[in-house]
Structure 1
């Protein structure tokens, strides 16, 4: 009986610890006023005004050259957008939504007779893509799960994101 009680107690602690591992901690530093992404350099910076708070190596869409023009093209958008939603239940650990497509993206896609696509996020790898390297997403910006936990705690909805070629 004692052995069973001890085993159940240890299992409970283990499960409690698992829940806390990926949970974002409260960020108490300077406000992130902008996210800057350089597609050509595969870098992302969290900025407070002109000061770099954090920098990350990133993966992009599997066809990284050029601006996203159509659903399924594998490109990451270029331009100025904002973080418009937060997903704590993402299949890719955690994710922050990017406000693509904007009105111009929709107009360009409509003129070309295609759908602009959407659901572009900054996200982690999640359990299925832990070993993914390089540019592997459908147009999103990918970092490690550990980095995504940090980013998720620092970046608020409404934060501008500038994605450079």
Structure 2
């Protein structure tokens, strides 16, 4: 039994070291060419839809899609966010509740996560629901136009810097944001 416990402890240590290395290892930058529909976004948007499985964010006005963007998500994107540090991007209907022009990620639009139902669920489970979920650009230390590859955020939705400038300019506080699996 002790031998099995030592083996389990050793495997756990190896997995923790590997996970830490993955989180700290430098990401390979990927320069993303502009999509075919690269026309500038003009005017306000009245709804944002994020489809996690497709890694796409679409902005709408009057029920019509205006533009679609490629996105990155939390480092463990499958499933709904349950607690602080799980690396998941939450699912559900949210609202933009703040705008940050001095973000560490170029520009950011804050979402009203956790909602009351998220806080209640986390309280029942005895965990912290997390917070500070944003739609944002790339880390400020990256050159403009460079995009980190893969899903790398702590639970946010990331797009390229030129794209967040468009979305930031066209999105008001109160804009609904639906995040779908």
Tell me if both proteins adopt one fold, taking TM over 0.5 as the criterion.
yes
Calculate the aligned-residue CA RMSD, in Å. Answer: 1.5
Matches within 5 A, 1:145-160: 145-160=161-176
Moved over 6 A (4+): none
Tell me the residue number matched to 1:66.
Answer: 79
Runs of 5+ consecutive residues of structure 1 not aligned to the other structure: 1-26
Matches within 5 A, 1:54-133: 54-129=67-142, 130-133=146-149
Any conservation in 2 of the 1:36–1:161 contact (CA below 8 Å)?
yes
Instruction: Give the CA deviation at 1:32.
Output: 1.1
Tell me the residue number matched to 2:31.
Answer: none
Q: Distance in 2 between matches of 1:131 and 1:51?
A: 28
Residue deviations 1:101-125 (CA, integer Å, cap 9, x gap):
0000001111111000000000000
Residue deviations 1:118-165 (CA, integer Å, cap 9, x gap):
000000003335451110000000000010101100111000000000
SS of aligned partner of 2:148? coil
Any conservation in 2 of the 1:84–1:157 contact (CA below 8 Å)?
yes
State the TM-score, normalizing by the size of structure 2: 0.73
Matched pairs, number? 139
Q: Distance in 2 between matches of 1:59 and 1:28?
A: 20
Instruction: Give the CA deviation at 1:54.
Output: 1.3
Runs of 5+ consecutive residues of structure 2 not aligned to the other structure: 1-39
Structure 1 pair 70–28 and aligned structure 2 pair: CA distance change class (3 A): closer
State the TM-score, normalizing by the size of structure 1: 0.80
Tell me the residue number matched to 1:137.
Answer: 153
Tell me the residue number matched to 1:6.
Answer: none
Q: Distance in 2 between matches of 1:54 and 1:141?
A: 16
Residue deviations 1:37-96 (CA, integer Å, cap 9, x gap):
000000000101221111100000000000000001000000000000000000100000
Structure 1 pair 28–53 and aligned structure 2 pair: CA distance change class (3 A): closer
Matches within 5 A, 1:25-64: 29-64=42-77
Instruction: Give the CA deviation at 1:30.
Output: 4.3
